[in-house]
Chains A and B, each alone.
Chain A
Amino acid sequence: MRNAFAEEVTSLAADDKRIVMLPADIGNRLFDKYKEKFPDRFYNCGVAEADTIGIAAGMALCGLRPIAYTINSFITTRCFEQIRVDVCFNNLPVIIAGVGGGLSYSPLGVTHHSCEDIAIMRVLPNMTVICPGDAFEVRAAIRAALKHKGPIYIRLGKKGEPLVHKEIPDLKIGKGITIVDGKELCLLSTGNMLPTAVNVGEILKSQGISAKVISIHTVKPLDKALLSDIFAGFELVATIEEHSLLGGLGASITEWLDEQQMQKVQKAKLLRFGTRDEFLYKVGEQEYARKYFGLDAETISKKIYRAIK
């Protein structure tokens, strides 16, 4: 995803002179082409996330479209107050892009894990939260973000994730994208779990269960119209995210369901897959970490099978 991000920003910056890249001492070589083409719109802000966000906000106050970029856990939790005050309170079109969403950087240890970022970003007024499902959604997300008038958080994975789309999809902020059609249950995936969600659908299909798979790339604002249809039309809905069960996509849907109680539209039961409320003290590769939290396709499909049969 990160290569697609760098390529897409480089491509868009040719026409959009408002774009300024503000990495916080990360992306060695990743932005070489960008720097070569647009040296006047590239500032490495150093290992200084608070300053990076403030600079981005100052630029946005002057009509530019800065993109603050570093590792997810640093660009969200380290400078949360700058995001809250400088970007969100001033309601500025700053793109905050984090690389290494969820457990992408699992072997690097808990300092580099990012399983709380969706929760703390989505709670901020004016903020939009986008978690692209593959490299094509990354490109579409940046294009959409540059047309948006307020703050946006884009949660990237790492590099080399499997592609789900065949081309850049028509991504509208706040509108889910159906990946696979199905009848019996619906899988709502956000971010880098999308390929896993597709795998889960395939496993279930081999067991005679028809699952719809939707990419909920925008966690905030939620696609409420889509959710209404899904919860009225299916027996079971499962959310899948590489993020804490506290505060992420699943949690935001439970909040929405709570609001819907009086309208009695709900038919479906909700199963939520995410990371438990704990740090991973014994680390390993991303696949290892996902298995530890029950976020591998086999574990998810087994649990869904048991719930529906």
Chain B
Amino acid sequence: MEDTLHITSKIRGKVLEMAHKAGVAHLASALSCVDILAVLYWKILKIDPNNPKDPNRDRFILSKGHAAMALYATLAHRGFFQEELLETFGKNGTSFAEHPDTGIAGVEAATGSLGHGLPLGIGMALAARIQQRKYNVYALLSDGECNEGSVWEAAMFAPAHKLENVAVIVDFNKWQATGRSTEILAIEPLADKWKAFGWSVYEVDGHDLNQLFETLTKLPDGSGKPVAIIAHTIKGKGISFMEDDNNWHYKAPNEEELNKAKKELGL
């Protein structure tokens, strides 16, 4: 995991730079899921950046599309496109919107409106069954996103069809745009909710690369159920003065803050 650990710092650094240059929101939401993305893209997903449309590839859907900066930086580092392309982020005419769409190599679905990724993922997982292909589908949701009714529509569908090749990962950073996600709506007990809906549930430290790998590598886990991984995370993870401070949901770092943050990352 040493190599992956190194990558997470580079991705976080890139995300900080993008947020700073473009002056855009959602930095802290992007930072909270970097470790999950790194483990998926370097250790779990059967993907080939040179053949991004391979019909047998695993699919990853960033259902929390507002963390697009983290996905873009991940895809660039993983070789789906040249990192220089990210220089257009935040500029007029760019393909790299603040929420991703399928015009970008490696992006499986347009997201940004919450509650869409899991239904899409279930459709992809069913397609594997119909077309007799073997691949897994992973959808990364935010905790705030679990406010959406469509998440729970989908949550009831997958177990009904014993859809074992789909996994939900909830980036449970305990915040949503305007407050504590555990207070705005009653999302707790979140793990129990997914269990009650018929999912095989795991709770992990969403920043522990080994734990993430051990859990993600289990899919399908043999239970005959889809898998839900509740990843406990810290919003703004990796930067001391951003961690668990929800002001960074909307705020972009100035130059001084950027330099300080990069220094903390050892960059």
| A→B interface (CB under 8 Å) | 20, 40-41, 43, 45-46, 48, 50-64, 66, 81-82, 85-86, 89-90
Contact = CB atoms under 8 A, between A and B. Distances in A.
Contact of A51 (B113, B124, B130, B154): B154
A205 to B, nearest CB: 51
A53 B118 CA distance: 11
B123 A85 contact: no
B150 interface: yes
A188 B240 CA distance: 67
Q: How large is the interface on B (under 10, 10 to 19, 20 to 34, 35 or more residues)?
A: 20 to 34
Given A46-B156, A54-B119, A85-B116, A90 B109 contact: yes
Nearest to A45: B157
A60 B102 CA distance: 13
B116 A62 contact: no
Contacts, number: 104
Contacts of A90: 101-102, 109-110
B124 A86 contact: no
A89 B119 CA distance: 16
Contacts of B160: 46
Given A81-B113, A82-B150, A89-B110, 10 more contacts: A46-B160, A51-B154, A54-B120, A55-B126, A56-B123, A58-B122, A62-B55, A62-B127, A63-B127, A86-B110
**Taking chain B's interface residues, is the majority helix, strand, or loop, or is none over half, making it mixed?**
helix
Contact of A58 (B119, B129, B131, B153): B119
B119 A82 contact: yes
Interface of B: 55, 101-102, 108-110, 112-113, 115-116, 118-131, 149-150, 153-154, 156-157, 160-161
Contacts of B128: 62
B126 A43 contact: yes
5 contacts: A52-B119, A54-B123, A62-B55, A86-B110, A89-B110
A56 B131 CA distance: 15
Contacts of A57: 109, 119-120, 123
A62 B119 contact: no
A46 B110 contact: no
- Which 4 residue pairs spanning A and B have beta carbons closest together? A58-B123, A54-B119, A62-B127, A51-B153
A46 B161 CA distance: 12
Contact of B157 (A40, A55, A64): A55
A57 B121 CA distance: 9
Contacts of A56: 123
